[in-house]
Amino acid sequence: MATSNWQAIAKQKRDAIFAAIPQEWRISNPPSVEEQPDVTQYIEQFLSKKELDITACSADQIAQKCGSGKWTAEAVTRAFCHRAALAHQLLNCLHEIFFDAAIQDAKNLDAYYQVHKRTKGPLHGVPVSLKDQFHVKGVETTMGYVGWIGTFEGQKGTGKEKVFESEMVTILRNAGAVLFCKTSVPHTLMSGETVNNIIGYTLNPKNRRLTAGGSSGGEGALIGIRGSPLGLGSDIGGSIRIPAAFNGLYGLRPSTGRLPYHGMANTMDGQNSILSVVGPMATNAASLRLITQAFLDAKPWDFDPLVHELPWSFQAENSINENIHDARGMSKRGGKLCFGLLKADGIVGPMPPIIRAINTLVSALEAAGHDVIPWTPPSHRTINNTGFKAWIFDAGRDVKSAFALSGEPMAKQVALYANLKEEQEFSATDIAATNREIRALKKEYLSYWNSTVENTTTGRAVDAVICPLAPFPAAREGRYKYYGYSTWVNLLDYTAITVPVTTVDKSVDGKNEGYGAVDETDREIQDDCKCWFPFRVVLLRGKVVGN
Amino acid sequence: MATSNWQAIAKQKRDAIFAAIPQEWRISNPPSVEEQPDVTQYIEQFLSKKELDITACSADQIAQKCGSGKWTAEAVTRAFCHRAALAHQLLNCLHEIFFDAAIQDAKNLDAYYQVHKRTKGPLHGVPVSLKDQFHVKGVETTMGYVGWIGTFEGQKGTGKEKVFESEMVTILRNAGAVLFCKTSVPHTLMSGETVNNIIGYTLNPKNRRLTAGGSSGGEGALIGIRGSPLGLGSDIGGSIRIPAAFNGLYGLRPSTGRLPYHGMANTMDGQNSILSVVGPMATNAASLRLITQAFLDAKPWDFDPLVHELPWSFQAENSINENIHDARGMSKRGGKLCFGLLKADGIVGPMPPIIRAINTLVSALEAAGHDVIPWTPPSHRTINNTGFKAWIFDAGRDVKSAFALSGEPMAKQVALYANLKEEQEFSATDIAATNREIRALKKEYLSYWNSTVENTTTGRAVDAVICPLAPFPAAREGRYKYYGYSTWVNLLDYTAITVPVTTVDKSVDGKNEGYGAVDETDREIQDDCKCWFPFRVVLLRGKVVGN
């Protein structure tokens, strides 16, 4: 590939993606961002009543409807394909479109149901969108790199092109899921915004002036506008949780070794100090439960050697549920949960609407009978500074080689890698030192967590920690500047869930004029307090238990 | 520390170890190796009838005797301290002796038992010896490095010296174990023989012309001569299994993340591609079960962030037991196990007595109603070549810095590290590539394992794999030349157990004169067929299940 014609190759790919959208689903004159910043209602004019009914449903509801025979997999699939096609024209959220294969798969599922009078699996008929790291037969994986077009992970003639499938894809098919599209990512995957030279910038459906988040930004935008009920992203520093939060979704970042990553494309693959994990994003918690349980029921440890033999724990789930029900006064055992609350990390202060969301959540938990106590953990600054090293172990060699394949430029959002010099690459000795630091920080945090048993009235240490996902709501282009509220979880390898709490309200979420900034970064972010947007709070689980 | 007087410092330490042996337990004229190669019977003349009765018992029997009040912890502890003291004088197997603290701990346990009428925990009164990587309050950890004397892992003035304890030590104390000594290791830990400049060379009690194995060689020698009923070693390439095999013991190498390693000293600490694991060595399988279950019952995941929340699985244990009992005709379900058999790895052929042992084991399994089928896995040569890289990531920087602290020379057994050059250190990119290779090899092997379902009559893939632990029985000094039969397990991270099968018999285990060697290495090892010795076979479990 000549390095001079990357624009032409990117355009060809961009056009091919668009060309996969059936004529009848095209929007003849899509509105500009200025004309129509919020397209969540706008999109609905193009959909039939039946399509609207279907696409309004969550994944668990769809599984129930298909399982009971009320809906066919084909009808469900067609509805979501249509809505996804519209979404891409408004948001630039898709990298691969394979609606024809999806509809054929759906027909096969319907035939299976007719013959066997039962579903193929727990996800029978549920459309599932995939971040463009999954390999799916029949389509490419570019991960946003122009140089990966027509290759397998940048290599030509491997024989795997458009044939090889990731382990998780096989499990999804066996569970009855319908795969229909792959969603956009920032090239390198290392950004809280989604931008690349193939599809451009992925927009937030509630306000297209803002980012949909990243790196699973295509998933966030697509599920946010209900073009998919359920999707899979990946997370090495917040990449599931950021787009979930910015689009009002539930997102699960499991601990490593829980869900199968084998056979996925990745960036800086082989960096083993802080691992990327795969996890689901959906419109409700029940759908996260559905797909996570489906994965574990497939015994993924039989197929991915890095997955631990840890089935779904009903015992852990029941013991939590008991305390939830007890707190609601539904039983007499007096159980309740106790949450640790991290309002601010001491590095960058959360903006006013984030603070309001936290307060809303705390009030709701306390009203339900639970306790919320302060969380004063070991330094998050140290944790984040150490974790950052794992992202730059190779001084950008891997991503630079991917850019070099086509000669395309790097987006400003990932310019970090462009600025690193070859001689900054870590040696084995440096990496070992970092690994020892990470281990010590994990131990220190675990000890702190255990110590909270002294401050609760449950007889247990804190059950979960609540903290903002980011100090700001959805950012404007180029303004995702601070990752510390999501990255600490990756270093510690805790299970974390984003839970939508509220949306920004201009009438109450004014700038905090008296804010005393810690430093320049803190001040800059606080001054960005202009264009609020839907934001969310992270609910964090300490250790791998039920899910 | 001046680099000129390492000899004096080493001698001082060696003398201090010896000085910790009470006068009445000293052997006035210890026999030379030539006079008395086998000291397993010889040692017994110095012990009382009661001491002989106690030290003849396995750890599970001791736990039972102490638990029922038949024996006091003090009597048991004194007996093993005495036998261990004698053992050290004959075998050079101890690095730290703390009999006084052990006897005081035992007295406290007896007092506890008197007051509470129950044991402190499942290991109440059981003496447990520890490889000299464990930090125990009151004593040093040298790991065989002269430069670590008077320091904490080579550093002075850390405040941790003789105070800090490894997590596992705390768990052992809480379970009622009595800690009484730390055992010898080869400096660097990277050898199948045990030698260092402090205590010299650790000898095999059955034939002192031979090695006790390594790197947990002190454990092997001590437990082999019944100076301890139960000990803990560590294994990154065979270091638990080699000394277990060479001393007729059972040794368990668990998969990573199963037992707590936190707070142990280590070599090349922070190398995260192939991790060292800690595991037990004992005179029978029941003792391995006892201590492993005790560790898991302590919920080590609450204290070591790298341990997975995987309790002991009674379900897995029962399903295996059912098949064992069925095979014996004790029930009617017709269950049996199917073993894969790797007779030779295609790189170095096993010597005649190893082949005889394998055949003995196969006959025994078949007589018990089980199946044994050939194991023809992916290339072990590739696996071992890849795994070897992880041992030399830092080109010996870590171990060289430890030697540099005192100026002491490196033993020929670990000269590999001396010969590596600074510029051979792996970069982040090199390490990432190795990690990808390791992952691919794990996947390939897992796929092969799964594929054996086609060749069994159990409806399952092979339940376990049998292979030699080494191509030779216990080696002579400087002759441990091939590690491939143990290291493949470490790359794959499988759970493995050494099981004693038989001992060498000169009358039947003659040299295989017609042996067709694959290459020079193979020929050289086969030609070493002179001084047979007790050897064992590894029983390998594929995945983490019950233990």
pLDDT at residue B328 in the model? 59
* DSSP secondary structure of A384-427: HHHHHHHHTTTTTHHHHHHHHTTTPPPPGGGHHHHH--GGGPPB
For residues A266 and A320, state if they share a domain: no
Q: Averaged over A132-152, what is the pLDDT?
A: 98
Is A544's Cβ below 8 Å from some Cβ in B?
yes
Residue among B415, B494, B10, B39 at smallest CA distance from B224? B39
CB-neighbour burial class of residue B8 (10 A; exposed 0-12, middle 13-18, buried 19+): exposed
Q: Rounded distance, CA A428 to CA A425, Å?
A: 10
For residue A254, tell me if it sits in a domain. yes
pLDDT at residue B527 in the model? 76
For residues B405 and B537, state if they share a domain: yes
Q: Rounded distance, CA A474 to CA A210, Å?
A: 6
pLDDT at residue B419 in the model? 93
- Quickly state the pLDDT bin for A506 (edges 50, 70, 90): confident
Q: Rounded distance, CA A212 to CA A194, Å?
A: 7
B interface test, pick of A266, A276, A310, A439 with most B CB neighbours within 10 Å: A439
CATH number of domain containing A116? 3.90.1300.10
- Assess whether pLDDT exceeds 50 at residue B492: yes
Backbone angles phi, psi at A188, to 5 degrees: 85, -20
The answer to whether A305 and B442 are in contact (CB under 8 A) is: yes
For residue A30, tell me if it sits in a domain. no
The answer to whether A329 and A342 are in contact (CB under 8 A) is: no
Contact A436 B308 (CB under 8 A): no
CA distances, A172 to each of A126, A176, A295, A312 (Å):
10, 6, 8, 17
The answer to whether A425 and A213 are in contact (CB under 8 A) is: no
For residues B298 and B362, state if they share a domain: no
Q: pLDDT tens for residues B226-238?
A: 999 999 999 999 9
Do you find a cis peptide bond into A215, omega within 30 degrees of 0? yes
Is B160's Cβ below 8 Å from some Cβ in A?
no
- Assess whether pLDDT exceeds 50 at residue A542: no
Q: Looking at chain B, which residue has its C-alpha nearest residue A433? A: B270
Q: pLDDT tens for residues B193-244?
A: 999 999 999 999 999 999 999 999 999 999 999 999 999 999 999 999 999 9
Q: Rounded distance, CA A56 to CA B521, Å?
A: 69
Instruction: Tell me the pairing of strands A277-282 and A464-468.
Output: unpaired
Q: Rounded to the nearest 10 degrees, how much is the dihedral formed by the CA atoms of B430, B433, B434, B436?
A: 160
Task: Please give the distance of CA A186 from its chain centroid, rounded to a whole number.
Answer: 13
More confident residue, B388 or B513: B388
- Assess whether pLDDT exceeds 80 at residue A160: yes
**DSSP bridge partners of B496:** B253, B540
For residue B33, tell me if it sits in a domain. no
What residues in A contact B303, CB-CB < 8 Å? Answer: 446
Q: Is residue A21 marked as binding?
A: no
Q: pLDDT tens for residues B245-288?
A: 999 999 999 999 999 999 999 999 999 999 999 999 999 999 99
Q: Is residue A239 marked as binding?
A: yes
Q: Averaged over B56-85, what is the pLDDT?
A: 98
What residues in A contact B268, CB-CB < 8 Å? Answer: 432
pLDDT at residue A534 in the model? 40
For residue B452, tell me if it sits in a domain. yes
For residues A375 and A524, state if they share a domain: yes
Q: pLDDT tens for residues B365-378?
A: 999 999 999 999 99
- Assess whether pLDDT exceeds 50 at residue B547: no
Q: Rounded distance, CA B233 to CA B129, Å?
A: 9
Residue B24 contacts by C-beta under 8 Å, 6 or more apart in sequence?
A: none
For residue A351, give the DSSP letter. P
pLDDT at residue A531 in the model? 42
- Outline where B43-166 has alpha helix (H): 49-55, 59-67, 73-91, 99-116
Positions of A marked catalytic: 131, 215, 239
Q: What percent of chain B has pLDDT over 90?
A: 86
pLDDT at residue B545 in the model? 32
Instruction: Single out the residue in A272, A302, A332 at which a domain terminates.
Output: A302
pLDDT at residue A529 in the model? 55
Instruction: Tell me the pairing of strands B338-341 and B464-468.
Output: parallel
Q: What percent of chain A has pLDDT over 70?
A: 94
For residues B340 and B472, state if they share a domain: yes
- Assess whether pLDDT exceeds 60 at residue A227: yes
Q: Looking at chain A, which residue has its C-alpha nearest residue B450? A: A302
A interface test, pick of B443, B447, B448 with most A CB neighbours within 10 Å: B443
Q: Rounded distance, CA B222 to CA B234, Å?
A: 15
Residue among A306, A234, A236, A305 at smallest CA distance from A275? A236
Q: Is residue A189 marked as binding?
A: yes
For residue B68, tell me if it sits in a domain. yes
pLDDT at residue A330 in the model? 55
The closest CB to that of A269, out of B398, B436, B450, belongs to B436
Three-state DSSP state, A288 = helix
Is B310's Cβ below 8 Å from some Cβ in A?
yes
- Assess whether pLDDT exceeds 70 at residue B540: no
Q: From the CA of A4, how many Å to the nearest CA of chain B?
A: 28
For residues B389 and B492, state if they share a domain: yes
Rg (CA), chain B: 23
Residue B255 contacts by C-beta under 8 Å, 6 or more apart in sequence?
A: B277, B493, B494, B495, B543, B544
| C-beta pairs of A450-456 under 8 Å, 24+ apart in sequence | A450/B302, A452/A340, A452/A373, A452/A375, A455/A373, A456/A338, A456/A371, A456/A373
What residues in A contact B398, CB-CB < 8 Å? Answer: 429, 432
The closest CB to that of A427, out of B425, B433, B443, belongs to B425
Output the furthest CA–CA distance in chain B (Å, rounded): 72
What residues in A contact B262, CB-CB < 8 Å? Answer: 439, 443
More confident residue, B521 or B117: B117
Q: From the CA of B545, how many Å to the nearest CA of chain A?
A: 8
For residues B276 and B381, state if they share a domain: no
Mean pLDDT of chain A: 93
How many CB atoms sit inside 10 A of residue B475's CB?
23
Q: Rounded to the nearest 10 degrees, how much is the dihedral formed by the CA atoms of B252, B256, B262, B266?
A: 80
Mean pLDDT of chain B: 93
Using alpha carbons only, give the angle B251, B257, B260 rounded to the nearest 5 degrees. 70
Q: Averaged over A380-388, what is the pLDDT?
A: 97
Q: Looking at chain B, which residue has its C-alpha nearest residue A442? A: B305
Q: Which contiguous run of DSSP H or E holds residue A287? A: helix A285-297
CB-neighbour burial class of residue B20 (10 A; exposed 0-12, middle 13-18, buried 19+): middle
The answer to whether B103 and B144 are in contact (CB under 8 A) is: no
What residues in A contact B394, CB-CB < 8 Å? Answer: 427-429, 432
Residue type, B272: N
The answer to whether B136 and B96 are in contact (CB under 8 A) is: yes
Instruction: Single out the residue in A260, A282, A302 at which a domain terminates.
Output: A302
Is A436's Cβ below 8 Å from some Cβ in B?
yes
* DSSP secondary structure of B30-59: PPPTTT-S--TTGGGGGS-HHHHHHHTS-H
Q: From the CA of B162, how many Å to the nearest CA of chain A?
A: 20
Residue among A357, A367, A374 at smallest CA distance from A327? A367
Q: pLDDT tens for residues A326-346?
A: 665 555 556 899 999 999 999
Instruction: Single out the residue in B302, B334, B364 at which a domain terminates.
Output: B302
For residue B475, tell me if it sits in a domain. yes
For residue A99, tell me if it sits in a domain. yes
Q: Averaged over A62-73, what is the pLDDT?
A: 98
Q: From the CA of A336, how many Å to the nearest CA of chain B?
A: 21
- Residue B164 structural domain: 11-24+39-302
pLDDT at residue B542 in the model? 36
The answer to whether A124 and A140 are in contact (CB under 8 A) is: no
For residues A138 and A201, state if they share a domain: yes
CA distances, B262 to each of A348, A452, B135, B352 (Å):
33, 21, 10, 41
Do you find a cis peptide bond into A228, omega within 30 degrees of 0? no
The answer to whether B205 and B87 are in contact (CB under 8 A) is: yes
Q: Averaged over A48-64, what is the pLDDT?
A: 98
Q: Looking at chain A, which residue has its C-alpha nearest residue B447? A: A303
Q: Rounded distance, CA A321 to CA A395, Å?
A: 46
Is A305's Cβ below 8 Å from some Cβ in B?
yes
pLDDT at residue B443 in the model? 98
Residue among A236, A218, A310, A301 at smallest CA distance from A262? A301
Is B513's Cβ below 8 Å from some Cβ in A?
no
Domains of chain B: total = 2
CA distances, A452 to each of A376, B69, B274 (Å):
10, 39, 34
User: Count of A–B CB contacts within 8 Å?
Assistant: 123
CA distances, B370 to each of B168, B318, B329, B362, B429 (Å):
37, 17, 11, 9, 47
Is A257's Cβ below 8 Å from some Cβ in B?
yes
Three-state DSSP state, B464 = strand
Q: Looking at chain A, which residue has its C-alpha nearest residue B492? A: A305
Residue among A87, A116, A256 at smallest CA distance from A184? A87
pLDDT at residue A319 in the model? 87
pTM (2 d.p.): 0.95
Is A425's Cβ below 8 Å from some Cβ in B?
yes
- Assess whether pLDDT exceeds 80 at residue A249: yes
Is B421's Cβ below 8 Å from some Cβ in A?
no
For residues A137 and A191, state if they share a domain: yes
- Assess whether pLDDT exceeds 90 at residue A404: yes
Q: Is residue B237 marked as binding?
A: yes
For residues B410 and B525, state if they share a domain: yes
Residue A393 contacts by C-beta under 8 Å, 6 or more apart in sequence?
A: A268, A271, A273, A425, A426, A430, A431, A434, B428, B432
Q: From the CA of A261, how many Å to the nearest CA of chain B?
A: 11
- Assess whether pLDDT exceeds 80 at residue B452: yes
For residues B57 and B17, state if they share a domain: yes
Residue among A72, A44, A429, A499 at smallest CA distance from A248? A499
Q: From the CA of A546, how many Å to the nearest CA of chain B?
A: 11
Q: Looking at chain B, which residue has its C-alpha nearest residue A266? A: B436
Rg (CA), chain A: 23
For residues A293 and A241, state if they share a domain: yes
Is A432's Cβ below 8 Å from some Cβ in B?
yes
More confident residue, B519 or A144: A144
Is B273's Cβ below 8 Å from some Cβ in A?
yes
Q: Rounded distance, CA A122 to CA A105, Å?
A: 16
Backbone angles phi, psi at B203, to 5 degrees: -100, 155
The answer to whether A486 and A536 are in contact (CB under 8 A) is: no
A interface test, pick of B255, B383, B439 with most A CB neighbours within 10 Å: B439
Q: From the CA of A310, how many Å to the nearest CA of chain B?
A: 7
pLDDT at residue B463 in the model? 94
For residue B546, tell me if it sits in a domain. no
Q: Is residue B236 marked as binding?
A: yes
Residue among A171, A274, A146, A298 at smallest CA distance from A232? A171
Q: Looking at chain B, which residue has its C-alpha nearest residue A273? A: B272
CA distances, A544 to each of A273, A316, A410, A493, B393 (Å):
19, 10, 37, 9, 31
Q: Rounded distance, CA B492 to CA A111, Å?
A: 42
The answer to whether A96 and A18 are in contact (CB under 8 A) is: no
What residues in A contact B301, CB-CB < 8 Å? Answer: 543
Q: Is residue B239 marked as binding?
A: yes
